[in-house]
Amino acid sequence: MNEIKLKGGHLSLPELNAIFTTIPQEFDVLDENDIVVWSSINEYCIFPRTEKDIGKTVFKVHPGHSQGRVKAVLKQMHEGERNSISINLHKNGQPLNISFYSLHNDDGKYLGCVEVTQPVQSYQVKDSKWRNFLNMIHKK
């Protein structure tokens, strides 16, 4: 079994795939030219991607109304003016958080961006201390 050596250890390809199909967030990775090179394509995707989206520019997979904002953020990342941004919005009545993180190599060269999308409604519930306690004792 091939292992992928990473900072902090190593993972097998099945382990790496299991991580991204298990974590309830959606991930898209863009290269330095804003091309979608990888997407988590898991059951939690709010903005579903398919294999056909890989290789397209990020602007072809984002809805038209958001393209201007995405272009502005990525321009700032390319120019080193911004390393991350977190945006909260609603889609179909569901509160979401979308975060963009600038990716760099050890020499500081811009490699691209990772976009992480997740629903946040469960983080916004009243009496969260009680909910957290119940979640700890309730096994799903």
Helix (H, G, I), strand (E, B) or coil at 34: coil
Token pair of 14 as six digits: 């099945």
- 11-21 residue pLDDT tens: 999 999 999 98
Query: Who has greater pLDDT, 91 or 132?
Result: 91
Q: Supply the pLDDT for residue 68.
A: 83
**Cα separation of the two ends of the chain:** 31
- Supply the pTM of this predicted model: 0.81
- 39-80 residue pLDDT tens: 998 888 888 788 899 999 998 887 777 788 888 899 999 999
Which backbone phi and psi does 69 adopt, to 5 degrees?
-70, -40
